[in-house]
Structure 1
């Protein structure tokens, strides 16, 4: 995603070898931390953030007079702990000989919990003599708004107070132009030899063969002094909370497939990391570092990807978004009554209206997706109680589609930003250059995107189905509206000589005949005829789209194609997953397994964690995919992609009202011979499903069935 605010990479972000450091991210609720591979914060694009404000901008450790040598570092598989292993460079003489390099092992182990960073610095002397170990931390808090960190300039800002300190803690404070006083407190378990507003210096006596621990905490407020018991107690609570989030819903495992299981585990852990338990239920935040906040589109699609395994995400997303549905026309917020939000932020700049994202509605697709997800959720769970609760919101959303979403009365949902501060493109491809004509010209507004019409079609159909179940007299009219949208798309977007759909219509109703992956989303909604769906599938599987690592966002050879761009030729895992699920909807299975295998191979090169996107260069033997330099990592809908693609490959459809699980012509990716879905819950019933390759087919075997549940297998 791109909300129009660029990420500025500074010299402070470069590592020792001159290349960019890997950003290591942790998150808990509305607090997240981004550090380099040493665990340091250096004042660039990193920091400890709380509610979109950076409360610790610098935190760098030195041993002696130098940065230590890094041995290894990374985040644990469950995303709870960051650990860096470092060792000393030669230490300066302290009343005798200096300690040589490599005799002191220092482990920095860190986690976030309850709005705080907890860190343990463990020092072990592996030398043959006692050592006086000088350890120092340089720190600071700039209280920058996240949009400032991302490169937005401000003419004025509030007042940063001089840090105060007392023995073993330092307090930072800032009063913003919004009159809110924001604070941060950095505390140590041991009193430093010297403590100031920007630096703490320690001198530890470390006997040979012995270890010593220093505990550190940082958060927005002063709490108890850090110590071993606090560190251990909070670490246990953080790990248990993560375990609960990871174990929601059904699980998928590949017996005898440790690397594939590692991908599944990492993806599930990433969804769990980004999921925040809000009063309305669990909500998957979009991604770190730049999008650690509720986004409408991202939350809906992630919940849809996970729906067959864990419907609780969809329930939480629908409930949260319904509570923030727009009720007024506001050009700055891009809102109209019934519209579903695009993004919400909690920082100073949003509160002051310097950016519109405090509660921003500039997404043309989110309202349609909200309604469509409600329909999918009802089919998956049979939970009509929630649907009845949300019914006024769902009806209001369809009224927005009718009264505001279609600005020119042609029956199609379109967009044109209401204020210059808003997003110029308001679909999922929201960078400024992502929508264009076949000659590269940008279209005049209002613009009607292809995939959004598919979402609208799905929304109208969902309302028709739900309306029938709730005996709403408008159900038939909603069903007719869905068919009208289908007809309009087939007539106006189809390019006969290309055997493909145009990416959009411009304000004059002319098709933007660029060939993009948006058509895969249309397949996902089930709008095209079978013949046209097969034609689209053939092109999406051809060399112009397939990079060997997934499906490109734009076909090779199109104007503005650039495999290094954000939306014009890169590979987005979630985009690929929706296209793959769309192909499966029309009966394609082998190609689904093939693309899943390609994305699996890409994940293997990214340490089993799929980034938001990566470059769309052609796959070359012996080489991995090429990273996009500022992609979010982790990112929710990238992590959820594997689960939607697995559902597509396995051919699983769940109808809770009929108490039926249908398995249609299942297949498995290359190299995976068995797969088990455990604890699949349908109403009050549950079942395990074991899939196994037998000859040239994959067979499904129900096991441990509990309750009334029918399993139907077809080929």
Structure 2
């Protein structure tokens, strides 16, 4: 990393950099808040992620934790409950053969073998490598991490081996793992509970007791607070298995009540401990660890099948795209957490495995045609957690939609302001925007009626608190110096600036946010008409029309040929070329006569690097291809841009972005699109350049492939007309055909085949259950 850059994180946990493309730095710029230390890159070694409910695990390729420095760990409610778990055979690490996530992300499967091992230094007894096969399976389920290590002897000789397992639990808050220092911490203890169990205990400053119990089977030959040893006897062809079950839970100090009743203000947060607590990890006494493992594995598979039952699926002519789509689907449902309001896609692993309002809404929008249950869960959850009062410390005002919620010790103590944090300017209009889109696809008027008071309150927030100066635009400015400096999706401290590189002073009106407000008011007007609020519908229609006209006057910048990034507090344009202008296409606020110029700007060599559209165009003052928001490439951002291009019937441009993102996926581990990657220009015979601390998986990156596909084929699900329409469908060169199965419209189910013949595309109905109509418009 260059000397003038430092990896950091914004207040929502999203990391950033303060590197400046022109090699300058403001005198008042210091290390941004909530810094993520990055002495090592996550790109250096592949990491594996598991998740269930509020728990997640970050593992190395062996399935180990903490053998090398990094973010590895077993986490629950933003706390690391296990910081080390290492496996050795005769004090040596095995040789890795393969390490793969199962296709549905349900478990990690690792194949290893023994290295050349010297058993006895005196008689030089050795085991040649590759004689003992080691197969490891790990998964998370209801408050426990299950680990099976199977060994098989392929030698003709009998071998006795020493297996070692080292472990530790540091109970670091996630923000500590990211690099924050704490002068005072709680008290930690560890004890050997019995001949096959070790217990760690941490009493936090928040008076929460967090415990980690490691259960071993069979009984170790030696056990101590940080290590267990097994003696394994393997005859020729013999097999055996070792089991490690790590149970994690929390409860208030001085009470025996379980975490599900006492920790984390569950009712206020709306999170379900049933999907993450230790209740499911308790088993009847007398059961062997092998039986416990098998039962949990069976139940976990059933749970995952239930979650994904009935979703829309796709199969294409391109096997590699099929792999990428399958991985994206698996990632979406791994990140999905059950709440009392429905499923909610947590933002990403490792830094954002919690509710984020903006991330959840955009993920639900892009996946709406695959599974509208995401949108339903997001809408109901965000309605239930909507701010009801003014709270400057949380950047909250009545009607504002939640930005982020955290459950760790530092958040509970107020050391970081994320317990329930509302510092986002776009979450509230996006919430209303999603509500209409969800209704348009599903016709679920009952959900709309249920959240209608929240929608009205969100509308009031936009007009009163959001529009700080009454000019019709929604602006932001943080309420305290602990709040997020920038509150759009590009929320790095240096992401909004002028042509000379000077940071914009607030209140700031972002380009894309005005588009979200425009779409929200149009959608709300239609919902109001449905519910008989005709006066409201008329008023909103007029407001949306006026906003579109005023937006063009204030934001269009002829000098750069696109919409300005933002307006500062003096209403001066930040005349910077950015991907934000593509969101103006996505929402429809852009005038039709501007669309071609915006598209040309986005797809120019400065905007498009061959893999995707950069957040900030090359040549702008703060452009840096290694930065978080000032020159990098984000798949979800590109997906929204592609949807915007398709909206204005710029399908070749949308297909070009889709092609670049598909090519990107081919270079990624497991063909998984990452949170972001660097914006360096594409070069022959070389893949895209990775970002050092990007999350993978990330929810809105996982949903992006489905948005690209729907944009290119022009998919529109119109419940009010009982019609599925494909508007001017096209397919990129890497796809000759795509079959879509179980596409839902009311009670109807449709299977479609979209086939490309040169530049022409045909659509055939393969199966129809119900009376929904399918039409193609060119």
Specify the TM-score bucket, using the shorter chain as the normaliser. Answer: over 0.9
Counterpart for residue 264 of structure 2: none
Counterpart for residue 581 of structure 1: 643
Counterpart for residue 724 of structure 2: 661
- Residue from 561, 567, 571 that aligns with 1:509: 571
Counterpart for residue 551 of structure 1: 613
Cα deviation per residue 1:449-475 (whole Å; 9 max; x = unaligned)? 110110011111111111111111311
Distance in 2, Cα, partners of 1:556 & 1:245: 43
Matched, 1:490 2:519: no
SS of equivalent residue, structure 2 residue 434: helix
SS of equivalent residue, structure 2 residue 720: coil
Give 1:447 shift: 0.8
Q: How does 1:126-141 map onto structure 2 within 5 Å?
A: 126-141=154-169
- Residue from 82, 95, 99 that aligns with 1:69: 95
Matched, 1:630 2:659: no
Matched-pair contact (CA < 8 Å) for 2:560–2:575: no
Cα deviation per residue 1:613-662 (whole Å; 9 max; x = unaligned)? 01111111111111111100000100100101111100111110111112
Q: Structure 1 length as normaliser, TM-score?
A: 0.97
Q: How does 1:181-220 map onto structure 2 within 5 Å?
A: 181-220=209-248
Matched-pair contact (CA < 8 Å) for 2:344–2:377: yes
Counterpart for residue 160 of structure 1: 188
SS of equivalent residue, structure 1 residue 80: coil
Counterpart for residue 674 of structure 2: 611
Counterpart for residue 251 of structure 1: 313
Q: Which moved more, 1:412-421 or 1:245-254?
A: 245-254
Give 1:68 shift: 2.0
Counterpart for residue 457 of structure 2: 396
Cα deviation per residue 1:404-438 (whole Å; 9 max; x = unaligned)? 11112211111111112221111110111111101
Counterpart for residue 149 of structure 1: 177
SS of equivalent residue, structure 1 residue 332: helix
Counterpart for residue 30 of structure 1: 54
Distance in 2, Cα, partners of 1:711 & 1:104: 58
Cα deviation per residue 1:662-693 (whole Å; 9 max; x = unaligned)? 21110112131111111111111221221111
Matched-pair contact (CA < 8 Å) for 1:165–1:196: no
Cα deviation per residue 1:263-315 (whole Å; 9 max; x = unaligned)? 11111111111111211111111011111111000000000001122111100
Q: How does 1:19-418 map onto structure 2 within 5 Å?
A: 20-42=44-66, 44-94=70-120, 97-221=125-249, 223-224=282-283, 227-254=289-316, 256-418=317-479
RMSD (Å), alpha carbons: 1.6
Counterpart for residue 471 of structure 1: 532
Cα deviation per residue 1:174-226 (whole Å; 9 max; x = unaligned)? 11111111111111111111111111111111112211101110021573465
Distance in 2, Cα, partners of 1:490 & 1:58: 55
Give 1:489 shift: 1.1
SS of equivalent residue, structure 2 residue 732: coil
- Residue from 565, 574, 582 that aligns with 1:520: 582
Q: Which moved more, 1:549-558 or 1:119-128?
A: 119-128
Give 1:703 shift: 3.0
Give 1:501 shift: 0.8
Unaligned runs of 5+ in 2: 1-8, 12-32, 250-280
Give 1:571 shift: 0.8
Classify 1:108/1:6 alpha carbon distance in 2 versus 1 (closer, same or farther; 3 Å): farther
Cα deviation per residue 1:328-374 (whole Å; 9 max; x = unaligned)? 11111110000000001111111111111111000110001000000
Distance in 1, Cα, partners of 2:547 & 2:162: 70
Counterpart for residue 707 of structure 1: 770
Distance in 2, Cα, partners of 1:292 & 1:583: 31
SS of equivalent residue, structure 2 residue 119: coil
Give 1:126 shift: 2.1
Cα deviation per residue 1:506-555 (whole Å; 9 max; x = unaligned)? 11110111111001111100011111011101111111111111111111
Q: Which moved more, 1:194-203 or 1:313-322?
A: 194-203
SS of equivalent residue, structure 1 residue 93: strand
Distance in 2, Cα, partners of 1:339 & 1:568: 27
Matched-pair contact (CA < 8 Å) for 1:165–1:195: no
Classify 1:32/1:92 alpha carbon distance in 2 versus 1 (closer, same or farther; 3 Å): same
Classify 1:132/1:350 alpha carbon distance in 2 versus 1 (closer, same or farther; 3 Å): same
Give 1:695 shift: 4.1
Distance in 1, Cα, partners of 2:10 & 2:376: 26
Matched-pair contact (CA < 8 Å) for 1:184–1:219: yes
Which protein, 1 or 2, shows the higher relative CO under an 8 Å CA cutoff with sep ≥ 6? 2
Matched-pair contact (CA < 8 Å) for 1:216–1:226: no
Q: Which moved more, 1:100-109 or 1:418-427?
A: 100-109
Q: Which moved more, 1:366-375 or 1:141-150?
A: 141-150
Distance in 2, Cα, partners of 1:291 & 1:604: 25
Counterpart for residue 8 of structure 1: 37
- Residue from 621, 625, 628 that aligns with 2:684: 621
SS of equivalent residue, structure 1 residue 161: strand
Counterpart for residue 670 of structure 1: 733
Counterpart for residue 684 of structure 1: 747
Distance in 2, Cα, partners of 1:248 & 1:423: 40
Give 1:89 shift: 2.7
Matched-pair contact (CA < 8 Å) for 2:560–2:576: no
Q: Which moved more, 1:479-488 or 1:113-122?
A: 479-488
Give 1:9 shift: 3.6
Give 1:713 shift: 1.3
Give 1:240 shift: 2.5
Distance in 1, Cα, partners of 2:234 & 2:38: 39
Matched-pair contact (CA < 8 Å) for 2:192–2:223: no
SS of equivalent residue, structure 2 residue 364: helix
Distance in 1, Cα, partners of 2:673 & 2:688: 11
Unaligned runs of 5+ in 1: none
Matched-pair contact (CA < 8 Å) for 1:293–1:344: yes
Q: Which moved more, 1:699-708 or 1:559-568?
A: 699-708
Give 1:84 shift: 2.1
Distance in 2, Cα, partners of 1:324 & 1:163: 40
Matched-pair contact (CA < 8 Å) for 1:594–1:670: no
SS of equivalent residue, structure 2 residue 394: coil
Classify 1:112/1:339 alpha carbon distance in 2 versus 1 (closer, same or farther; 3 Å): same
Distance in 2, Cα, partners of 1:557 & 1:467: 45
- Residue from 554, 559, 562 that aligns with 1:500: 562
Distance in 2, Cα, partners of 1:83 & 1:10: 29
Q: Which moved more, 1:387-396 or 1:403-412?
A: 403-412
Cα deviation per residue 1:368-419 (whole Å; 9 max; x = unaligned)? 1000000111111111111111110000001111111111221111111111
Distance in 2, Cα, partners of 1:74 & 1:550: 27
SS of equivalent residue, structure 2 residue 392: coil
Distance in 2, Cα, partners of 1:696 & 1:555: 30
Runs of at least 4 residues off by over 6 Å? none
Give 1:103 shift: 2.1
Q: Structure 2 length as normaliser, TM-score?
A: 0.89
Q: Which moved more, 1:281-290 or 1:667-676?
A: 667-676
SS of equivalent residue, structure 1 residue 497: coil
Distance in 2, Cα, partners of 1:651 & 1:442: 39
Cα deviation per residue 1:51-98 (whole Å; 9 max; x = unaligned)? 111111111112112222222212122111112222223334359623
